[in-house]
Amino acid sequence: MKKQTRIPKTIDEYLAGVPEPAHTTLLKIRRAIRDAAPREAVETISYGMPALKYKKILMWFAAFEDHCSVFPGASVVAKLASELGKYSLSKGTIRFPLEKPLPAPLIKKLVKARLAEIKDKKL
């Protein structure tokens, strides 16, 4: 995937620069995150990547040359590591093939875990 030359201002602008199959994958990820997030959550660009924010960032998501990633945070990845075993993980990051997005129920579970974390910290 060609790196975007300027930082997009909206998620739609970011997605416009993402080729297939990553484009469709990110649309599915976006929908699953939105479905699990509170209505008050807003879409934003943070660190040059699409994200959904509710008091704090719930989750970032992005496309790369040979994979897509979601970034729910290190503690969420650690908490659900047993369910993420077939994906490539690093601290706070879940990487998966372009054409095989994470299942929507798993994304929703990641968002719910992040929401619980935010609530527990009373941010």
CA triplet 79, 84, 86: central angle to 5 degrees?
155
pLDDT band at 122 (very low <50, low <70, confident <90, very high): low
Q: What is the pLDDT of residues 38-53, one digit of tens each?
A: 999 999 999 999 999 9
Is pLDDT of 108 > 90? yes
Q: What is the pLDDT of residues 72-94, one digit of tens each?
A: 999 999 999 999 989 999 999 99
| Predicted pLDDT of residue 3 | 55
CATH number of the domain located at residue range(s) 11-117 in this protein:
3.90.1150.200
Query: What is the domain partition of the chain in residue ranges?
Result: 11-117
Compute the distance between CA of residue 99 and CA of residue 43 in angstroms, rounded to an integer. Answer: 23
